[in-house]
Chain A
């Protein structure tokens, strides 16, 4: 049972770069660190490819929460792709506030390839947060 008193299990989309973020996911697997099955991973060549369109599309397709995982700041394999992604995520959070979905349904995390536990923590954190927030309001009205 979730915190909001329902059986709601969030669906979460995580956009991640193929470098540190995906390696961290792999590390989590290799170390047998569990993370919630609510999270579905989508690989990007770099988080610099993060686009407001992809994030909104995920919400349109029914995601209850979305987050982006990139390399640690200063360690992006494409130099500053993760910083660009962060700026776009911040802008998209404002757009989500305007829409009425709430910017807190979107976030960004930074990990290095060896941080399997940090990767799992991000998944836990987002899953807990979205559980509390409840389902994507557009699904409620469908």
Chain B
């Protein structure tokens, strides 16, 4: 395996973390549809074991069995694409989607909306709840690490995010609820400002703690409405037919 390929392979592991919805809810979303297509996604939700090829196969099997037990057998098929959030990966699904009454997407909310945008006549429902942006802390445990606030302050906090990990999203913490290094909302939860203090202290950068942080400008986050990035240098040229 070349280094280049290995690097590409590793960077594939983005991490939007999701969790499959309860079976009863998925059955309700499917409703009276007779032909069901379970669509998995081979990227983030695959590495958190919520919506990849294996989970799509399992859900399709579960649905076939569950509908049979209910005395209401349905045709349930499954397919998984590498990424449900890009046109070129979902385009090959056109025929299968056209033949289905409902698509249960096991991708994150982005994948569901990509399918809806690409196949406007298809009825697409989510099979999982997109939970957070995070990482596997240990096998079988995922933790939140980023809220995509659009204005990263990790450079001021020693690389530990108070936006995603402080219950109050404090910028000048800790608060009075920090007790013995734990957060007042959960005795198992580390106070992130304690972690920041400990790290800055160890790195000899405690002066950063004294730097007053003004109220955060949330306009770069969801408060500013849906966000969009345009890179002029990457746009297709008119003569390329776009």
Contact = CB atoms under 8 A, between A and B. Distances in A.
Interface in B43-85: 54, 57-58, 61-62, 64-66, 68-71, 73
A99 B62 contact: yes
B23 interface: yes
B61 A101 contact: no
5 contacts: A98-B62, A99-B66, A100-B66, A101-B69, A141-B73
A138 B62 contact: no
Interface of A: 51-53, 56-57, 59-60, 95, 98-101, 137-138, 141-142
Contacts of A142: 68
A38 B62 CA distance: 24
Contact of A138 (B23, B57, B69): B69
A105 B95 CA distance: 38
A53 B65 contact: no
Contacts of A51: 54
A141 B73 CA distance: 9
Q: Bin the interface of chain B by size.
A: 10 to 19
Which secondary structure characterizes the binding site on chain A? helix
B64 A53 contact: no
A111 to B, nearest CB: 27
Contacts of B70: 100
Contacts of A56: 58, 61-62, 65
A101 B61 CA distance: 13
A112 B54 CA distance: 31
Contacts of A59: 65
B68 to A, nearest CB: 4
Nearest to B22: A98
Contacts of B22: 98
B59 to A, nearest CB: 10
A95 B54 contact: no
B71 A101 contact: no
A99 B64 CA distance: 9
A99 B58 contact: no
Interface string B199-237: 000000000000000000000000000000000000000
Nearest to A139: B68
A142 B68 CA distance: 8
